[in-house]
Amino acid sequence: MTAAQRALHQLTQTWDGDLAWLVVEEKSLRLLLFRQGVPEVDHALDALDPLACQREIRACVAAWQALVDSPSALGWWLSVPSEQVDDWMPVVDGAAGECCLNQPLPVWAEPSDQAAARDVTGVLSPLQQLALLALHQEER
């Protein structure tokens, strides 16, 4: 998680606002909220009902933003499986000036044969991809 956070900060270093990071890893969901690069909230979510999770996420963000007189713009990074990105985009409130900061990550491992291509268990999660990116950048 720490390595992934380092990569996230590198990828979003040009963003000048607050950052919300939604992490879906296996059956676990977490919302992390950063102000000026410092994590202020780490909130575990119950993954059973996606709509309830989205409401809980928005309530958590609203409560966090209410702690300051004028909150900064909020950028989102969604570390969710690619097939679920559209399902989670409703948490990003474009009408309030929020935006999604996600960008393509490198593809680290190509399947070696057709059998491996059908085996999705070998695919890195978005969180694992971020962590690997940080480690790769540190090797340079």
Give the tens place of pLDDT for each residue, 15-57.
999 999 999 988 889 999 999 999 999 999 987 788 899 999 9
pTM check: above 0.85: no
- 117 CB neighbour count, 10 Å cutoff: 11
Residue with tokens 């059998």: 115
* pLDDT band at residue 117 under the 50/70/90 scheme: very low
Q: Are strands 38-45 and 18-25 parallel, antiparallel or unpaired?
A: unpaired
Phi–psi pair at 56, nearest 5 degrees: -65, -40
* pLDDT band at residue 107 under the 50/70/90 scheme: low
Is the pLDDT score of 115 beyond 50? no
The whole-angstrom distance between residue 80's C-alpha and the CA centroid of its chain comes to 7
Is-contact 4 134, C-beta < 8 A? yes
Domains and CATH numbers, the chain: 2-139 (3.30.420.40)
Strand locations in 6-135, DSSP E? Answer: 18-25, 28-35, 38-45, 74-79, 99-100
Give the rounded percent of residues in the chain with a pLDDT score beyond 90: 51
